[in-house]
Structure 1
């Protein structure tokens, strides 16, 4: 069962929608928050949620662009959509987005009766997942090809829960220098694990479209599933 559900902001002065997918029987072992790419809560992100529900989790995908325009859905393979998505990303207040993610964590924790909440994000969402690891009370965090994480390393001292980063080595948005900074900068952080994916590019784990690399996606998603199974139990 899946549908959009309103979530109250932390301030309680507004509500925004999140796509919520529930497991069969509505008995969830934990919650997972799927953080969108720059393309909104589109079919690919909703499929991610649906897959987590099939695995026994209740999954949430908050609409982080709602203050500008609710329910944006764009296709990464359409050039015009890609340009629109870049514009939406530039308008997003990321600190405010973290607060909306925190509000989603709060709602998800209630839904699992105080149980654990994991977060997984892609692209922009990967960056936000790392920021959330530094700033929220989630229980486990996964970032796929997060952009600009090398510029956030000064916050990593606040990480107190497990973090998993998937890093494609041919990412044309996260170059070799940024990747090296991430590896070097977090080498001594016992909470953080990085996995490289040789020769793969940004978006390799997208559910739909031309960016997907099937072998790479299966490998990374398998690692993510094992990570959440270990840390959300």
Structure 2
């Protein structure tokens, strides 16, 4: 069995109250709310040449479970944070990590809902939103992502070459993290919501943060996405022109005939051609920005 010495041991665990973290391990498979899975299109990436599995990341109030995949034997790989949809770090997100590891990246997908609950075990999307997503503070999420970067650095990864990508809920987070971490080099947001009502959990949204972007963002959106109206995408494009230097070199690409979640190969929304083109654009964006 392949091992990668710098990655297969964990940071010494901090003491914590397990009641604070509802999710303490990741189960296999797809989230219940995404069933039935489109088995004929779902991509399955093996672990040949990579080291993949569950880790525990020290955070301010304990340990957060995450999935990471890293190329075996490669010293100082660049880092990509992978942020899930509302369904958490289930099989699709883990597979994305493995795909990135095969390309030479240390990919980390944290279970950012660990304190609020396990969305993978809830079958109704409204219930996920009510009980988990809407109770997860942006500030907590950004802090947890910082902890993942610190974990990667402690294991020998090259966090000077740091990127983030996220899907749906995670797409919005990718925009936010670009305004949060000055060490970030590149961000790719897949159909992340751009506007919304301010709340204690979500005080600001991407359109309000264009002046604070510290890393250029590539936004990938579907022209038929009923949940993200094209007018909000167009408004963001205009706002970026008057934002920070990183905002001004950010880009948005709209796939005219794609719905929401067009990259989700395990769902009926999957659009193979657009998903593959978006993946190529993402990788090119990383390379262009030094990741």
Taking structure 2 as the reference length, the TM-score comes to 0.72
Does 2:120 match 1:73?
yes
RMSD between aligned residues:
1.9
SS at match of 2:209: helix
| 1:112 pairs with one of 150, 157, 160 | 157
| 1:199 pairs with one of 254, 257, 282 | 257
Is contact 2:83-2:173 (8 Å) kept?
yes
Q: In 1, Cα distance between the equivalents of 2:121 and 2:270?
A: 16
Q: In 2, Cα distance between the equivalents of 1:114 and 1:38?
A: 26
Does 2:176 match 1:131?
yes
Q: In 1, Cα distance between the equivalents of 2:277 and 2:195?
A: 22
CA separation of 1:84/1:43 partners in 2, compared to 1, >3 Å: closer, same or farther? farther
Bigger shift: 157-166 or 43-52? 157-166
Q: In 2, Cα distance between the equivalents of 1:232 and 1:31?
A: 11
How far did 1:216 drift? 0.5
Bigger shift: 194-203 or 153-162? 153-162
Q: In 2, Cα distance between the equivalents of 1:123 and 1:91?
A: 17
Is contact 1:121-1:142 (8 Å) kept?
yes
How far did 1:73 drift? 2.1
Q: In 1, Cα distance between the equivalents of 2:124 and 2:96?
A: 20
Is contact 2:71-2:106 (8 Å) kept?
yes
Is contact 2:78-2:159 (8 Å) kept?
no
| 1:148 pairs with one of 190, 194, 216 | 194
The residue aligned with 1:41 is 89
CA separation of 1:155/1:16 partners in 2, compared to 1, >3 Å: closer, same or farther? same
Q: 1 or 2, which has the higher helix percentage? A: 1
Equivalenced residue count is 226
Q: In 1, Cα distance between the equivalents of 2:226 and 2:207?
A: 20
Is contact 1:28-1:56 (8 Å) kept?
no
The residue aligned with 1:5 is 55
SS at match of 2:108: strand
Gaps of 5+ in 2: 1-50, 197-204
Q: In 2, Cα distance between the equivalents of 1:50 and 1:85?
A: 26
Gaps of 5+ in 1: none
Does 2:190 match 1:190?
no
CA separation of 1:114/1:210 partners in 2, compared to 1, >3 Å: closer, same or farther? closer
How far did 1:209 drift? 2.1
Q: In 2, Cα distance between the equivalents of 1:162 and 1:107?
A: 24
The residue aligned with 1:101 is 145
Does 2:259 match 1:215?
no
CA separation of 1:191/1:103 partners in 2, compared to 1, >3 Å: closer, same or farther? farther
Does 2:126 match 1:83?
yes
How far did 1:106 drift? 2.1
Q: In 1, Cα distance between the equivalents of 2:278 and 2:195?
A: 18
| 1:121 pairs with one of 163, 166, 169 | 166
Taking structure 1 as the reference length, the TM-score comes to 0.89
Q: Deviations over 1:137-181 (max 9, x none)?
A: 322111000013474322221212221111211111111321221
Bigger shift: 215-224 or 180-189? 180-189
